[in-house]
Structure 1
Amino acid sequence: MSRVGRIVSEFRAGARAFLRRRTAVFFTFFFPVLIVLIFGVLVQSQPTGGGLFAEPPGYYLPGYLAVVVLFTPLSRVGSEFARHREGSRFEKLATTPLARWEWLFAHTLVNVLVIGAASLLIFGLVVALTGASIAVGPHLLLLVPFVALGVTLFCGLGAVLGRVADSQDGVIAASNSVALPLLFLSETFVTPDLLPAWFRPVTDFSPLTYFARGVRYLTYEGVSGAGAPDPTTLALSDLGVLAVLAAVFFVAGAYAVPSGD
């Protein structure tokens, strides 16, 4: 079987396994929708009120997208990793021509499609329910590589967590321990001016920051003032950083896939 055939075969197996878990399918889409309903509809933004959610609704679209781009790959790949280890499936895979990076690439593709659909749903809900003003134009097509690279990055990190944790419960605990700080300290829902001055540079070390910044440059009309560089140019800069980080984390995740232990 060719390399493409192996990847397609594993992709189909991963997609079927996901669709068979109806609870997982439900919460993959329900959880981010719930976040939008709670923060976007019930809490709402208060542009003149100060504190949290003091920006217009459009500012927080990257945060809502970050929820699904961050949490879903970490939990799904990490849990799949743990199930494979507990069922000795990696030992069986070691007897096949399927390479470690091919296994991770196939499961990353599954997540890209699932999370891409969830992101499209979230985008529509934010616009429809919160009244967010979005900068419409061809530049919005760049959201596709932003989501794909973000998912790839966190699939790699999910594989690393799956290798480190010794059970599915351990994977979930590790995923939440990593995801929650990243979600709120990566220029998503908490604006940099709300953080201590000494801590603000630390957000640049979060890979999720480059996803949030780039998406905000593409979608939020108030992100740049007069005389500022073109937002699309700024977004491309963040996309480049995200691409490099995605490649690094994917390689680390592929290396973490057991070769037969």
Structure 2
Amino acid sequence: MSPLDTLLADGRVRHRAGALAASAAFGHRAVLKLRHDPKQLVDSAAIPVLFTVLFTYLFGGAVSGSTDAYLKVLLPGVLSMSIAIVTMYGGARLAQDVRGGAFDRFRGLPVWRGALVLGGLLSDVARYLFASAVVVGLGLVMGYRPDGGAAGVLAAVALVVAFGLALSLLWAALALAVRDPAVVLGIANAVLMPLSFASNVFVRPGTMPGWLRAFVDANPLSHLASASRRLMNDTGGAGGEITWSLLATAALTLVCGPLALRLYARQG
């Protein structure tokens, strides 16, 4: 007798899965999909490796006088930028489910409607932590020593991951609106690339033209990178930057979360 026949024949009443249980099941499904699409993990590792190694040895001496000094500026910024860039793959995965028909099958299941979106976010946490481990591990190999110790590093990672999850909700809403993975990735790149390079991730904004510095100072990635630097390097004064980053995280969550669930409910 097959496992399905066994379940149907035992006569027990099956209760509807709760919201957390259903979300965990969809999160497990998203993690399993990495076997068939390992590109997501490759990008999570390649982006921080490329930017950290390339910029440290190309510009470290020119910008900060030595690669060791530049790593203290660059590494927390690359951590923030890498997680922000990796967020777009969650939206692309959701758009693929909508476009490929899996979404229609999931809608017929007796589970909480938002479980698919929340489950995707749970799997995104694993990818963000993986990318964070790559950044910090590579920095330690290259000679970076965080003055904030393990506590400062963990606090910075937690702050960046929280912001990444909030940003993932934006791409989830976009995926449900456009339903095309290529369009999601294209729009996300068009937004994230200017935010990444027109920021204080790679250089200090003091030498920039006034109009560009105004944009950099308002850039949420700049505030996130500054907060991460202060936490990891234990330079003090992180309260304002942390508060700004948490407010940006809360704003994205409060706007994009309900929007994504509303678009989810309207599908089909």
> Into which bin does the TM-score normalised by the smaller protein fall?
0.7 to 0.9
Kept in 1, the 8 Å contact 2:24–2:122? The answer is no
Change over 3 Å in CA distance of 1:89–1:34 after alignment to 2: same
Q: 1:257 aligns with which of 258, 261, 264?
A: 264
Instruction: Provide TM-score, normalisation by structure 1.
Output: 0.82
Deviations 1:155-183 (A, max 9, x none): 11211332343522212211110110111
Instruction: Give the corresponding residue for 1:227.
Output: none
Mapped to 2, the partners of 1:236 and 1:121 lie a distance apart of 23
More helix by share: 2
What are the ranges of 5 or more consecutive residues in structure 2 without an aligned counterpart? Answer: 1-16
Mapped to 1, the partners of 2:103 and 2:247 lie a distance apart of 32
Q: 1:139 aligns with which of 142, 152, 155?
A: 152
Alpha-carbon offset, residue 146 of structure 1: 0.8
Query: In the alignment, residue 196 of structure 2 is paired with which amino acid?
Result: L
Kept in 1, the 8 Å contact 2:153–2:231? The answer is yes
Mapped to 2, the partners of 1:48 and 1:155 lie a distance apart of 33
Instruction: Give the corresponding residue for 1:150.
Output: 163
Change over 3 Å in CA distance of 1:180–1:94 after alignment to 2: same
What is the aligned length?
248
Q: 2:206 aligns with which of 182, 189, 193?
A: 193
The secondary structure found in structure 2 opposite 1:189 is: coil
Mapped to 1, the partners of 2:164 and 2:61 lie a distance apart of 27
Deviations 1:211-248 (A, max 9, x none): 21210111235x5xxxxxx4343454234324413423
Matching of residues 111-190 of structure 1 within 5 Å: 111-129=124-142, 131-137=143-149, 138-190=151-203
Alpha-carbon offset, residue 114 of structure 1: 1.4
Mapped to 2, the partners of 1:241 and 1:209 lie a distance apart of 14
Mapped to 2, the partners of 1:187 and 1:251 lie a distance apart of 31
What are the ranges of 5 or more consecutive residues in structure 1 without an aligned counterpart? Answer: 224-229
Q: 1:17 aligns with which of 33, 42, 52?
A: 33
Query: In the alignment, residue 155 of structure 1 is paired with which amino acid?
Result: S
Change over 3 Å in CA distance of 1:82–1:243 after alignment to 2: closer
Change over 3 Å in CA distance of 1:194–1:94 after alignment to 2: farther
Q: Does residue 1:231 correspond to 2:245, yes or no?
A: no
Mapped to 1, the partners of 2:61 and 2:173 lie a distance apart of 36
Mapped to 1, the partners of 2:117 and 2:226 lie a distance apart of 27
Mapped to 2, the partners of 1:258 and 1:114 lie a distance apart of 27
* CA radius of gyration, larger in: 2
Change over 3 Å in CA distance of 1:111–1:132 after alignment to 2: same
Matching of residues 58-137 of structure 1 within 5 Å: 58-74=72-88, 76-129=89-142, 131-137=143-149
Query: In the alignment, residue 17 of structure 1 is paired with which amino acid?
Result: K
Mapped to 2, the partners of 1:24 and 1:48 lie a distance apart of 33
Query: In the alignment, residue 244 of structure 1 is paired with which amino acid?
Result: A
Alpha-carbon offset, residue 43 of structure 1: 4.1
The 10-residue stretch of structure 1 (132-141 or 78-87) with the greater mean CA deviation from structure 2: 132-141
RMSD value over aligned CA atoms?
Answer: 2.6
Change over 3 Å in CA distance of 1:7–1:209 after alignment to 2: same
Alpha-carbon offset, residue 48 of structure 1: 5.4
Alpha-carbon offset, residue 122 of structure 1: 0.8
Alpha-carbon offset, residue 132 of structure 1: 3.3
Instruction: Provide TM-score, normalisation by structure 2.
Output: 0.80
Instruction: Give the corresponding residue for 2:246.
Output: 240
Kept in 2, the 8 Å contact 1:211–1:242? The answer is no
